[in-house]
Amino acid sequence: MIYDLIIIGMGPGGYEATLTALRKGLNIAIVEKNKLGGNCLNRACIPTKYFRTGAHLIEKLDTLKNYGINIKGNPEINYAQAWENKEKSIGFLRRSLENLLKSKKVPVYKGIGKIIDKNKVEIEKEDGTKEVIEGKYILISTGSKPSSVGNIVPDGEYVITTEDYMDKLKELPESILVVGGGVAGCELSYIMNKYGTKVYIVELMDRLLPSPIIAEEVSRYLLRKFKKLGIETFFSTTLKEYKVKNGKVEAVLSNGETLNVDKILLSVGRKPNSNIDTIGIEKDQKGFIKVNQYLQTNFENIYAVGDVINSPMLAHIAQYEAKIVLHNILNEDKKSPDYSLTPWSILTAYEVAHVGLNENQAKEKGIETITGYYPYTYNEKAVDESEAEGFVRLIFEKDSKKIIGGYVVGIGASEIIHEISLMIKAGFTAKEVHEYIYFHPSLSEIFAYASYDVAVGKLF
Amino acid sequence: MIYDLIIIGMGPGGYEATLTALRKGLNIAIVEKNKLGGNCLNRACIPTKYFRTGAHLIEKLDTLKNYGINIKGNPEINYAQAWENKEKSIGFLRRSLENLLKSKKVPVYKGIGKIIDKNKVEIEKEDGTKEVIEGKYILISTGSKPSSVGNIVPDGEYVITTEDYMDKLKELPESILVVGGGVAGCELSYIMNKYGTKVYIVELMDRLLPSPIIAEEVSRYLLRKFKKLGIETFFSTTLKEYKVKNGKVEAVLSNGETLNVDKILLSVGRKPNSNIDTIGIEKDQKGFIKVNQYLQTNFENIYAVGDVINSPMLAHIAQYEAKIVLHNILNEDKKSPDYSLTPWSILTAYEVAHVGLNENQAKEKGIETITGYYPYTYNEKAVDESEAEGFVRLIFEKDSKKIIGGYVVGIGASEIIHEISLMIKAGFTAKEVHEYIYFHPSLSEIFAYASYDVAVGKLF
């Protein structure tokens, strides 16, 4: 039989494509070499968020007494126990996915898929046998894998990748050097810190978190917290060399300092899994599969989404693109993705979230801005929850006072960021942001205060 | 001197009016007989949310082990300690308000204000002296006080109001009968339950929470949880009579049952503080001050907002109305409030939130609907946080498939409800709700799933 659609890679992109395809009655087949759910479910977003919940709860133990909850002595912190429970949670979610596929009788070909003809995928199975399946359309959603850098070679033991971290590291080391202070580096550093590991971060740039998308003031605010937590950072510095000695790693930094740690965690970004075909699907210099505005490769029936193409490497972008691909397969009038309202969220010592344009991004586009700011200090809900750290900044176009972006640092950031996104979408002015009805007490009402100066006038 | 604006009552309405007036350079005076911040800050929203945080943390203690956090034995739960810390948090917020007024040199007249002329307010101070001040405009934001019902007479000791609860109840009783299963009744019942009190609720209607604004399925869902928690409920039942005997209350219900409890908590709604003038400001039959579409009383320079008028009795509505009043004072083209997107949120055993129209409300307006549903069970963030109880229902107009309302039960409800509100405001169709980019993993992405059936088609 010829399938309507073959999906290679069952991560967020593949999963979303599946859900829509099934609802539209398409005959689909799935090719997956690893566990269903992809990197996101098994080794990134979901387990990170799981451990981050634990890390944040450990931090919150200090606030229990505010509510008359008195625990005896210090709690015992057992990372291995968290790890086992993380596996259970992920297992529950993966099974719900497996059960869906079973109940809809979707064939899942376990193995490495290779596109050998514009309508044919060859699957190399674990036992070495091969099978070829045929499809009208093919979706490549094969994701990405950790990059390495320079002379640093992951060995799965002393030098580990973020995937090794999630797959294998059931016990945390006493000390670790994290190479790369980007998203994954900051997220895992906070987790390890709260679970008791001494964490060092070495970062080539002069700050934490990706620039320019994460504003400088956010990066500085996070750094202050990292210092308070005892996370040590080295900026504008690289790992020059390292050697394993007596079960420890001796790491020499470019500033001449030597650190003796148990492990090195490499978190220097990811590269696309684009070695996927023998038919000449075009890739760019970095190995990303090239797609046109409709997410088609140079073969018009073969689409690609997610980390394997050069768009923001975020699970929700893969999902968004998958919806567009399904639309484009099913309709004459094709759609293009619009990334302008992509929400970013980083779950580290604070929740950090961004959407739209920050001041620097606006400046680069020649847009003059005026901004509004409000700290969590006086937000009643944040105070009630003993979570009054953080702030909001809203970015408005100077003349029209229309909201064009914003970022949030603090509790709830990864949810309320969508309100900023929706207000941009709806074309709100500062006055409209200010006068909107937000529940009291909520974190969301901070937007009414962060827009006050611009909408109404300054208080001081 | 003649003030530009005299504000009587410094709750959320008065506070918001103050903030805007000061930014607009108005000369204002404040009259307040009690503590700054009003009922909301001192006896309702903010302390309730404070205790609710504690109650929810007590419930979450069971989940700590999921994250490898092992506490020894059972924690000691001390409500009095929570009470003291609640006072500190509220005190901090109240002082920030006091400091603002001081730094802006705003006169605060402590005492009971009475409007004795359309431009004059007489203040009766605690020492019995009187002072009259003059203003061009007057804002009445005097709020409300607890209602009582039938033969039940609050005595501050055995029969207490919700205000007594917050002001005086430093130790919780072993058992309590809550009269009224509305918003305050459900919020306080959950708090007392988690802090160790045996709670009974008697409710005249056949369900919990206000109808029709809170949908029947939400009420049922909450009831199941209350049962699990050991909160006992009596519906379609009233408190027939009670007597105090040996330091306990013997309460006889209309169904013939007798309960022996330590206290009765009366939570049967609130009535306006509208005994405010000698000049004939018009009130309705229930005592609410009558206002026109611009929030003016029958004296055009006297405005009223908040609980004292017949609009939703919510702090954020008072704030919203105050903004409109300031606009109307300062501008020729006057504005009217639009309550259609008022968010409701109830912080009880679940967060419960509502905005727009539910199915019944739509039906009453003759609007045909189609709805979408998704449980928290499979939301990855909720699973990661061990908070996978709850659901979302979205209401769409049947033909256009435009979103017209929705409700959320579960963690984060009081924040993500604003996304539904903003999507209604922006005129989103089910397809637009479904295809919007939500951060993964977030609670917000549940909207993509709750709109899937309507936007794309059913899976089963």
Averaged pLDDT in 10-residue chunks for chain B of 460 residues:
97 98 98 95 96 98 97 95 97 96 97 98 96 98 93 94 96 98 98 98 98 97 98 98 96 98 97 98 98 98 98 98 98 97 98 98 98 98 98 98 98 98 98 98 98 96
pLDDT tens profile A280-323? 999 999 999 999 999 999 999 999 999 999 999 999 999 999 99
As a whole number of angstroms, the distance between CA B258 and CA B253 comes to 6
A:217-246 residues touching chain B, CB 8 A cutoff: none
- At residue A137, what are phi and psi to the nearest 5 degrees? -120, 155
- B164-181 per-position pLDDT tens digit: 999 999 999 999 999 999
Instruction: List the single residue in B25, B345, B444 with the smallest CB-CB distance to A439.
Output: B345
| Chain A from 394 to 423: CB within 8 A of any B CB | 412, 414-419, 421-423
- Of B80, B385, B459, Cβ closest to residue A53: B385
Residue A251, beta-bridge partner list: A242, A259
> Quick check: B342 and B358 in contact, CB under 8 A?
no
Chain B residues close to A64, C-beta within 8 Å: 57, 75
Q: In chain B, what residues touch A328 (CB-CB under 8 Å)?
A: none
Identify the pLDDT of residue B151.
86
Give the chain A residue whose CA is nearest to the CA of B378. A93
Identify whether the C-beta of residue A358 lies closer than 8 Å to the C-beta of residue A215.
yes
pLDDT of residue A148: 87
| Token pair for B389 | 């109880």
pLDDT on residue B161: 97
Q: Which of A15, A32, A37, A35 is nearest to A109 (CA)?
A: A32
Q: How confident is the model at residue A150 (pLDDT cuts 50, 70, 90)?
A: confident
Taking CB atoms and an 8 Å limit, are B92 and A458 in contact across chains? no
The reply to whether residue A23 touches residue B452, judged by beta carbons under 8 angstroms, is yes
B39 neighbors B144 (Cβ within 8 angstroms): yes
Locate B328 and state its tokens.
């109307």
pLDDT at res. B450: 98
Residues of B (284-343) whose Cβ lies below 8 Å from A: 314-317, 319-320, 323, 341-343
Out of B23, B443, B459, name the one closest to residue A457 (CB): B23
Tens of pLDDT, residue by residue over A417-458, are: 999 999 999 999 999 999 999 999 999 999 999 999 999 999
Q: How far is A324 from chain B (nearest CA, A)?
A: 9
Q: pLDDT confidence of A149, banded at 50, 70, 90?
A: confident
Pair A30, A109: CB distance under 8 Å: yes
For residue A88, give the chain B residue with the closest CA. Answer: B66
Query: Is 90 exceeded by the pLDDT of residue A177?
Result: yes
Spatial neighbors of A23 by CB under 8 A, at least 6 apart, are B452, B453, B456, B457, B458, B459
Which member of B51, B72, B100 has the closest CB to residue A73?
B72
Whether B153 and chain A come into contact, CB under 8 Å, resolves to: no
Closest to A346 measured CA to CA, from A337, A355, A335: A355
From chain A, pick out residues whose CB is under 8 angstroms from the CB of B413.
Answer: none
Interface test mutation site (partner B, options A18, A439, A446, max chain B beta carbons within 10 A):
A439
Q: Is A349 an interface residue toward B (CB < 8 Å)?
A: no
The answer for A68, left when phi > 0, alpha when psi is -120 to 50, beta otherwise, is left
Q: Within a 10 A sphere around the Cβ of B341, how many other Cβ atoms?
A: 16
B93: chain A residues, CB-CB within 8 Å: 378, 380, 383
Tokens 């003796």 identify what position? A260
**Complex ipTM more than 0.90, yes or no:** yes
Nearest by CB to residue B68, choosing from A79, A316, A417, is: A79
Expressed in angstroms, the distance from the first to the final Cα of chain A is 73
Question: Are the Cβ atoms of B417 and A435 closer than 8 angstroms?
Answer: no
Nearest by CB to B437, from A77, A341, A456: name it.
Answer: A341
| Residue ranges of B 77-106 with Cβ closer than 8 A to chain A | 77-83, 85, 89, 92-93, 96, 100, 103-104
Contact: A419, B423; criterion CB under 8 Å: no
**Interface contacts A/B by beta carbons within 8 Å:** 277
What span, in angstroms and rounded, lies between the C-alpha atoms of A341 and A334? 20
Residues 438-457, chain B: which have Cβ within 8 Å of A? 438-445, 448, 452-453, 456-457
pTM, 2 dp: 0.98
Q: Is B343 close to A437, i.e. CB distance below 8 A?
A: yes
- Give the distance from residue B183's alpha carbon to the nearest chain A alpha carbon, in angstroms: 14
Nearest to B414 among A195, A439, A459 (CB): A439
Residue B403 pairs with which residues in a beta bridge? B396
What is the DSSP track for B48-67?
Answer: HHHHHHHHHHHHHGGGGGGG
Is it the case that residue A267 has pLDDT exceeding 90? yes
Closest residue in B to A13 (Cα) is B440
pLDDT at site B148: 87
Confidence of residue A251 (pLDDT cuts 50, 70, 90): very high
Minimal C-alpha gap between B328 and chain A (Å): 14
pLDDT tier for residue A121 given thresholds of 50, 70 and 90: very high
Determine the pLDDT at residue B149.
87
Q: What does pLDDT average to over chain A? A: 97
Tokens standing for B185?
A: 């009744």
The nearest CA of chain A is from the CA of B150 a distance in Å of 31
Does A65 contact B at CB distance below 8 Å? Answer: yes
